[in-house]
């Protein structure tokens, strides 16, 4: 299962969601959704724009994770969002 590492890479580069949105020309709403849900489906065009803004290859912002790990993380994310 594919997981987006956008939040992690942006943090490594000290780039806020707002700055990433402006630099990539991807809406802040989409960037925020990716930060909250790293399993969000996005187009390859969007991934390319984000990777370019982060100055990394697209392969640096995508990782392949086992399905069981993705399901566990999704449950944690859902629980966190519901308790907020």
Whole-number Cα distances in Å, 66 to 3, 60, 83: 10, 18, 26
Contact, 42 vs 62, CB < 8 A? Answer: no
pTM of the model: 0.87
d(CA 80, CA 64): 23
Name 2's bridge partners.
64
Sequential pLDDT tens for the chain (84 residues): 999 999 999 999 999 999 999 999 999 999 999 999 999 999 999 999 999 999 999 999 999 999 999 889 888 887 766 665
Secondary structure letter of residue 3 according to DSSP: E
């Amino acid at each position: 299962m594919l997981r987006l590492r956008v939040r992690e890479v942006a943090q490594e580069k000290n780039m806020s969601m707002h700055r990433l949105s402006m630099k990539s020309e991807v809406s802040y709403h989409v960037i925020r959704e990716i930060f909250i849900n790293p399993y969000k489906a996005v187009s390859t065009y969007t991934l390319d724009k984000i990777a370019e803004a982060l100055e990394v290859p697209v392969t640096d912002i995508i990782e392949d994770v086992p399905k069981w790990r993705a399901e566990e993380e999704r449950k944690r994310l859902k629980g966190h969002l519901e308790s907020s």
